[in-house]
Amino acid sequence: MNTPIQHLSGELDNGNELYIKRDDLLPFSMGGNKVRISQAFFQDMEHKGCDTMIIYGSRHSNLCRVLSNLCCSKDVPCVMICSHEEQEDQTATNNTHLIDWAGAQVIHCGKDNIAATVSSVMEKLRARGRRPYYIYGDKFGRGNEGTAAAAYAEAYREIQDFEADQGREFDYIFCPSGTGATQSGLICGHLLAGDGKKIMGIIISSRETERARQVISEGVSDYFVKNGRTLPTGWAEEIILLDGYRQAGYGHYDSRITSTIREQYRRNSLPLDPIYTGKAFWGMKEYINASGIRDSRILFLHTGGAPLFYDFLAKEGTENETC
Ligand SMILES: *Cc1c(COP(=O)(O)O)cnc(C)c1O
């Protein structure tokens, strides 16, 4: 599933070169990191001899879109436990509609009632003779951290192949960090390669930085344990999180992000969204300027979210721009 790595010339100053890996172009369900992650969950489900997928997320979730799409395309029943915030935006988004189209059975639950809902869904399915698989492991959402990380531990090899072709390595990889699964996987790839790259995660939500660090370290160590590998000493220092660009938290953005999105569409024809990729791309550029990084080769991972780009376009796309 190799995706293109493109050079974006003229984007950065101080002798820095910017490249972008287009995982938004993965050829399933409108692409994105959730394609690789969903495939990893799906294979794990089959490997464990299960036959019914239980997914969890909000009705706007990219992961739920891709997983529910994967299930219906393979004729596997899919139950979605849909979490609700106390104050939430009731409007349906593109992902909400696509999850509906995929025909996932949606079970609603509050944020404080997830474990009980997961158990009762599992029990009901078992009583009907099914073998349910919950993507996050047990009812508390633990035990399956390494599966999602595996997706980007493997994708890391595509980056290494590109470097081998070019005869030069990247110094940095930047990506948005939400649950941290993508960053965990990239860190696994980096630790296995023993190379000098720095994997920079830009926190896009209000998740506390120490909590984010802990979740990533669980993902990395679970992956290493499950693959029978030993972690190198000092590995935890390789978890680099930038928490200065989250703005007011998940889904919050201001005109610095919207201008970045317009600019990147115009200059490089990139579809970025304000929740993940647009926020992280803006944060990356700010960080590179502020930290005085020079003469470096930098890779940005485009993690997809195309339906969010179109949500954004429908909402804020009416202003004109003079070419
Ligand atoms: C989920 C998602 C992310 C964050 O990835 P994590 O593995 O959860 O950190 C980034 N970008 C997009 C478009 C996503 O859907």
pLDDT at 90: 80
- Check pocket membership of 38 for ligand 1, CB cut-off 6 A: no
* CA 28 to ligand 1 centroid distance, Å: 16
Q: Please state the atom number of ligand 1 nearest to the C-alpha of residue 308.
A: 13
* CA 322 to ligand 1 centroid distance, Å: 32
- Check pocket membership of 247 for ligand 1, CB cut-off 6 A: no
* CA 303 to ligand 1 centroid distance, Å: 6
Q: Please state the atom number of ligand 1 nearest to the C-alpha of residue 177.
A: 9
pLDDT at 190: 98
pLDDT at 322: 54
**Single-letter residue type at 138:** D
Nearest protein CA to atom 13 of ligand 1, as residue? 305
* pLDDT mean by block of 10 residues, the chain; 323 residues: 96 98 98 98 98 96 98 98 81 96 96 94 98 96 95 98 98 98 98 98 98 98 97 97 98 98 98 98 98 98 98 84 54
- Taking CB atoms within 8 Å and a gap of at least 24, the contacts of 250-259 are 250/178, 250/204, 250/205, 250/206, 250/275, 251/275, 253/278, 253/279, 256/282, 257/282, 258/316
- Check pocket membership of 61 for ligand 1, CB cut-off 6 A: no
Who contacts 159 (Cβ-Cβ below 8 Å, separation ≥6)? Answer: 5, 21, 170, 173, 189, 299
- For residue 10, give Cα distances in angstroms to 15, 260, 268, 295: 10, 15, 10, 13
Residue 273 φ then ψ, to 5°: -120, 160
* CA 195 to ligand 1 centroid distance, Å: 24
Whole-angstrom distance, CA of residue 323 vs CA of residue 321: 6
Q: Please state the atom number of ligand 1 nearest to the C-alpha of residue 304.
A: 13
Q: Are strands 172-177 and 198-203 parallel, antiparallel or unpaired?
A: parallel
Ligand 1: which of 39, 56, 64, 179 to mutate, most ligand atoms within 8 Å of CB? Answer: 179
**Single-letter residue type at 233:** T
- Check pocket membership of 31 for ligand 1, CB cut-off 6 A: no
- Check pocket membership of 68 for ligand 1, CB cut-off 6 A: no
Residue with tokens 């954004």: 312
* CA 76 to ligand 1 centroid distance, Å: 24
- Check pocket membership of 219 for ligand 1, CB cut-off 6 A: no
pLDDT at 88: 74
Residues in the chain, overall count: 323
* CA 46 to ligand 1 centroid distance, Å: 24
Q: Please state the atom number of ligand 1 nearest to the C-alpha of residue 175.
A: 10
- For residue 33, give Cα distances in angstroms to 37, 139, 241, 250: 6, 24, 19, 18
SS3 state of residue 22: strand
Report which of 213, 277, 206 is spatially closest to residue 240, judged by C-alpha positions.
213
The answer to whether the CB of 22 falls within 8 A of the CB of 175 is no
The answer to whether the CB of 303 falls within 8 A of the CB of 24 is yes
* CA 48 to ligand 1 centroid distance, Å: 25
pLDDT at 318: 73
The answer to whether the CB of 176 falls within 8 A of the CB of 279 is yes
**Single-letter residue type at 78:** C
